[in-house]
Structure 1
Amino acid sequence: MGVALSEVDGQKPLYDYGVDSLQAVEIRNRALKNMHSDISVFDILSAMPLADVAAKIALKSKLVKVTAASED
């Protein structure tokens, strides 16, 4: 993406880093291939903060098992 890691703010949306529709498709394809997570291009290009996009990818990933916390 051409952005230094030290300049990435997880509370900013990806479009703040210049992500366009072609890059969003590439991000979607990588999430599907590497994380087995089907996220929409719309989610990637939305105003959703980067940290929320990452959480959504993890939540939808078939590699991550999410369990509900039990109430004591």
Structure 2
Amino acid sequence: LCAGLAVRHGLPEEEAWKAITIYSATYTGIGERVGSLEVGKDADVVIWNGNPVTDITATVYRTIVDGNVVYCQGDK
């Protein structure tokens, strides 16, 4: 939500994505392990049904943690 508001007020979308991924990981001291998709890093991934930075109605479609799908929209 905050990244979306920042984009609405002029922050470039790419910078908003960095703010909620790699910049946050680096700031909290875990950037060597998470924050971007790179060989050797933990790859926890959220797949959305839209762009959550520009569309507040976008919802999580799938979540993958340690290579395992832990959530899939529509599964019970």
Q: What's the TM-score once normalised by structure 1's chain length? A: 0.34
Structure number with higher strand proportion? 2
Q: What's the TM-score once normalised by structure 2's chain length? A: 0.33
Structure number with higher helix proportion? 1
